[in-house]
Copies of this chain bind each other. A is one copy, B any other.
Amino acid sequence: MSGDKRREQILQTAFDLFSHRGFSGTTTKDIAKSAGVSEAMVFKHFSSKDELYGALVEAKTCNEGFRKYPWEENEAVMTAMEAKDDFGVFYHFALKALNKHQEDIAFMRMIFFSALEGHEIADRFFQTFVGEIYNFLGGYIKTRQKDKVFRKIDPRIIVRAFLGMMIHHSLNNILWDKKRTLLDIPNEEAAKNFAEIILQGVAVQEG
């Protein structure tokens, strides 16, 4: 196998293991074995376990998956936003996010492990990626507040409440309620309910 191809394969294997067991719970021997190579090969491509992990998180946060925000490649959100279709904005945003979480459980686990284990790369991810989401949704909320459609609440609180519903729901499914004994609903229904609750919750009330 070529160097680049092998490197990618080791990265992917390492990703699966790190996301499952965390940094200190994964050994270089495990990685080598799963990748079907010797440990020496791993250290030919990455000078240390730390470097391997760093390259991994870097690749996964910057190049793939979560480089795309839930509104990119999601025409529905942008269209709804231009039309000031509030339900469309929040529903499609939530649905995209929930689907993404479900498809990329390994990534979610890796980010949580990084955060718990205190790798500063997790910090950077949150300051950029999550910060950007606060700006994006917060901006729309501000507009709708000026339109006197949403109540005057700190937009960041609304974003936090809304993201909280989605992320907590995904986290429940990934970490604890894998069999969905507590609440087993399709993402469409969850997105619809979350969007309805938040929208009615922040709407200006008549009278």
Count of chain A residues with Cβ under 8 Å from any Cβ of B? 53
Q: Which of B115, B169, B197 contacts A201 (CB 8 A)?
A: B197
* A78 within 8 Å of B (CB atoms): no
CB distance from A21 to the nearest CB of B (A): 7
What are the interface flags for A177-192 relative to B under an 8 Å C-beta threshold, 1 for contact and 0 otherwise? 1000111010000100
C-alpha spacing A96/B194, complex, angstroms = 23
Q: In the complex the two chains form, is B131's CB within 8 Å of A25's CB?
A: no
Asked whether B200 lies within 8 Å of A117 as measured between CB atoms, the reply is no
Chain B residue nearest to A112 (CB atoms) is B116
Interface of A is mostly: helix
From the candidates B25, B109, B163, B164, name the one contacting A22 in the complex (CB within 8 A). B25
Decide yes or no whether A122 CB sits under 8 A from chain B: yes
Q: Is the CB of B176 within 8 A of A156?
A: no
Cβ of A166 < 8 Å from any Cβ of B?
yes
How far, in whole Å, are A203 and B167 apart by their CA atoms in the complex?
Answer: 23
* Chain B residue at minimal CB-CB distance from A134: B182
12 contacts between A and B (CB under 8 A): A21-B117, A22-B117, A25-B25, A115-B176, A122-B175, A154-B193, A156-B183, A157-B183, A161-B193, A161-B194, A196-B201, A198-B201
